[in-house]
Amino acid sequence: MIALESKNIVKYFQKKKETSWALNQVNLQIRQGEIFGLLGPNGSGKSTFIRIASTLLVPEKGNMSVFGYDVVKESQKVQRLINRVSVEASFFRMLSPMENLLFSAGLYGLSKKEAIKRINEICETIGLEKKRMHDRIKDFSRGMQQKVAIARAFLTNPPLMLLDEPTTGLDPRAKREVQQLVTDMNSRYGMTILLTTHDMDEAERLCQRVAVIHKGEIMVTGTPEHLIQIQESKTANPTLEDVFLAYTGLTFSQVETEGVGV
Amino acid sequence: MKNRMLRELYAARAFIDRNLNLSKRYWKWELVFLVYTIANSVTIGFIGRGVESVTGTSIDAQFYILYMLIGSILWGYLSILFEIISETVTWERWEETIEYTFMAPVHRATHLLSVCGYAIIYGIIRSSVILLVLSFFFNLDMSSANFASAVLILGIASFSFIGLGMCAAILPLISPEKGIQVVSIFQSLLLMFSGVYYEIHVLPQWMQAVARISPATYALQGMRASILHGAGMGDMVQYIVPLLFIGLFLVPFGIALFIRMERWAKQKGVLKRSG
Ligand SMILES: Nc1ncnc2c1ncn2[C@@H]1O[C@H](COP(=O)(O)OP(=O)(O)O)[C@@H](O)[C@H]1O
Ligand SMILES: [Mg+2]
């Protein structure tokens, strides 16, 4: 079954007289149960794609559906099937993780009792200390905040999880923990995951299939192994990084120094 | 169907709990605003007490003080409703939670109405505290008041103010920068036009015409009629009908327009980013 299907999605932003193109004729199919990586440099349109899937942006042209439901016309049905983690943790800073998570659980229709049970389970899995669950989130480290953001998303058990650069800006250890969690959720619960990243190592480790996006256009789609194999005719001993470079025309250090994208 | 209703109810509770938690965590600011409002009301009470000695004429000072304080307390209540509701979007944008709230499977009506519910509870508690403090400073003689009429007018006035707040909440949704400024100007004009501290007939003709479309005008007149003159239900009809009318129009209109404009914001990409 297809978890997410995007057909000829076009999205641009018109601010004053300027038009910035974000997505141009994007076609993608994400199969149920897979971890799919959307790889691209900053500004390539990854977050825009995720926002359309999250019902937060309406595309100019094309259709996108989640498990058969149209993201624009049947947005509330889609909303029940998804959740999302973004680069920024996005919490009520003065509230505790518990208060933030209870709020989120309530929005997804969980009773307080169910929510507390789920929160405790998830925190155990993720390794969030119970005793810190009542401190203000603003005093948390970025890694900790990101863990709470992940807890918030997994709390609702979404069949399709949208992860927008979930590990960008995390220290190596926190990064590993998050990656482990992503694979666990996928293998244990069969959760379909769409992950955006510009970390090729991460993509190769986690994703069954990837697509490279550049300036709003999908350059290539396939399994990491297959893409690397194609690259062999051009580079000796290629890696996924070489594939990425070949399609985006950027050197890897350029991608890194552009900093954290929004 | 039942399941869906239940989910919306849990969501409503989540919104109310969240706002309570925010009030708790930002209690210092709550205190600051409360002290500010109380000091304001007390000042207005003293203005009333001083009228006789300033003008050298004799008036019913007790009556005048009560007249002014009703204006102050009711205006305080209505502005709180208006502010909490109109800041729904601004606040979430500032906290950067807006995308998470707007992608949740909650009907927008549930979202907006729960925030209104919270605003009413909060506004009533706050106004009661203010009234209590004021009663220490002034001898508030309410022996001729008709409290049933007062409660009725308060309820219906809340309803139409909710409608006003919802319409105002749309502005920050479509304009992240200018929205809240326009809302503030609107609020201060409402204060000037609605006869909070005076009868609207003291205003120039054109201002009186504007006053007649403001729900605050009827709320204040109705409240004064019930507290100062003990007006019964029959006398209240002239205030209740326009308030009900405004509310019945503004609440559904506000929700529908909000949903439309949310769609527009999602097209333009202004939900989160400014500029
Ligand atoms: N809400 C918005 N308003 C205006 N321009 C936007 C908005 N969102 C994205 N863009 C523009 O669209 C392009 C793609 O951005 P984005 O999807 O955030 O890329 P990525 O996530 O890959 O870094 C960029 O040029 C960006 O400036
Ligand atoms: Mg991005």
For residue A76, the chain B residues in CB contact (below 8 A) are 105, 107
Closest CA–CA distance from residue B130 to any residue of chain A (Å):
27
Percent share of chain B, pLDDT over 90: 88
The residue whose CA is least distant from atom 5 of ligand 1 is: A13
Residue B23 sits at the chain A interface (C-beta within 8 Å): no
The best mutation among B173, B271, B273 to test binding of ligand 1, ranked by most ligand atoms within 8 Å of the C-beta, falls on B273
Supply the mean pLDDT for chain A.
Answer: 92
For chain B, say whether A145 makes contact (Cβ under 8 Å).
no
Residue % of chain A over a pLDDT of 70:
95
Calculate the average pLDDT of chain B: 93
CA distance A24 to A9: 6
Which of A9, A11, A13, A195 for mutating ligand 1's site (highest number of atoms within 8 Å of CB)? Answer: A13
C-alpha B22 to ligand 2 mean position (Å): 29
Q: How are beta strands A82-85 and A35-39 bridged, if at all?
A: unpaired
* DSSP code, position B266: H
Q: Where are the domains of chain B?
A: 2-268
Determine which of A1-5, B131-135, B174-178 has the lowest per-residue pLDDT on average. B174-178
Ligand lying closest to the C-alpha of residue A45? 1
Q: What is the 3-state secondary structure (H, E, C) of B104-135?
A: CCCCHHHHHHHHHHHHHHHHHHHHHHHHHHHH
Q: Looking at the predicted structure, is the pLDDT value of residue B3 above 90? A: no
pLDDT of residue B241: 96
Residue-wise pLDDT for B40-57, tens only, equals 999 999 999 999 899 998
Inter-chain residue contact B104 with A57, CB threshold 8 Å? no
Residues B6-27 pLDDT 10s: 999 999 999 999 999 999 999 9
Task: Give the pLDDT confidence score for residue A15 in this predicted structure.
Answer: 81
- In tens, the pLDDT along A163-188 reads 999 998 888 988 998 899 899 989 99
CB contacts of A93 in chain B (<8 Å) are: 95
Question: Residue A151 Cα, ligand 2 centroid: separation in angstroms?
Answer: 20
- Tokens for B179, please give them: 């929205």
pLDDT at B15: 97
DSSP string, chain A: -EEEEEEEEEEEEEETTEEEEEEEEEEEEEETT-EEEEE--TTSSHHHHHHHHTTSS--SEEEEEETTEETTTTHHHHHHHEEEE-SS----TTS-HHHHHHHHHHHTT--HHHHHHHHHHHHHHHT--GGGTTS-GGGS-HHHHHHHHHHHHHHT--SEEEEESTTTT--HHHHHHHHHHHHHHHHHH--EEEEEES-HHHHHHH-SEEEEEETTEEEEEE-HHHHHHHHTTTSSS--HHHHHHHHH---HHHHHHT----
| CA-proximal residue: ligand 1, atom 21 (nearest) | A47
**pLDDT tens per residue, range A211-255:** 999 999 999 999 999 999 999 988 888 999 999 999 998 655 555
Predicted model pTM = 0.92
Over its C-alpha atoms, chain A yields an Rg (Å, rounded) of 18
Asked if residue A168 has its Cβ within 6 Å of ligand 1, the reply is no
Q: Is there a contact between B252 and B164 (Cβ–Cβ < 8 Å)?
A: no
ipTM value for the complex: 0.92
Is the CB of B22 less than 8 angstroms away from the CB of A94? Answer: yes
From chain B, the residues in CB contact with A86 under 8 A are 99
Integer CA distances (angstroms), B15 to A176, B21, B255, in order? 34, 10, 17
- Who's near A146: CB < 8 A, 6+ residues apart? A85, A89, A166, A167, A170, A174, A178
pLDDT for position A129: 87
CA–CA separation, A140 vs A147, rounded Å?
10
Listed by start position, the domains of chain A span 86-157
- Are B13 and A106 a contacting pair at CB < 8 A? yes
Q: What average pLDDT score do residues B142-155 get?
A: 93
Ligand positioned closest to the Cα atom of A21: 1
Residues 6+ apart with CB under 8 A from B13: A106, A112, B114
Contact predicate A219/A245, CB 8 Å: no
Question: Does the C-beta of A44 come closer than 6 Å to ligand 1?
Answer: yes
Instruction: Decide: A148 and A137 in contact? Cβ < 8 Å.
Output: yes
pLDDT tens string A61-84: 999 999 999 999 999 999 999 999
Mean pLDDT score, A45-57: 97
pLDDT in tens, B60-115: 989 999 999 999 999 999 999 999 999 999 999 999 999 999 999 999 999 999 99
pLDDT band at A256 (very low <50, low <70, confident <90, very high): low
pLDDT of residue A260: 44
**Beta bridge pairs of residue B207:** none
Does residue B275 surpass a pLDDT of 50? Answer: no
> Chain A interface, mutation test: which of B7, B16, B92, B100, most A Cβ atoms within 10 Å?
B100
Q: Which 3 state secondary structure label does DSSP give B166?
A: helix
B269 lines ligand 1 (CB under 6 A): yes
Contacting residues of A for B23, CB less than 8 Å apart: none
Please tell me the predicted confidence (pLDDT) of residue A262.
Answer: 43
**Mean pLDDT (whole number) for A139-158:** 92
Q: Are residues B99 and A56, on separate chains, in Cβ contact within 8 Å?
A: yes
Question: Band of the pLDDT at B139, cuts 50, 70, 90?
Answer: confident
Contact call for residues A79 and A55 (beta carbons, < 8 A): yes
How far apart, in whole angstroms, are the C-alpha atoms of residue A257 and residue A129? 33
Say what the pLDDT of residue B104 is. 97
DSSP symbol at B202: G
Taking the CA of A39 as reference, the closest ligand is 1
Q: Can you give the length of chain B in residues?
A: 275
In the predicted model, is pLDDT for residue B273 greater than 90? Answer: no
| Ligand 2 center to A70 CA (angstroms) | 23
pLDDT confidence bin for A261, thresholds 50/70/90 = very low
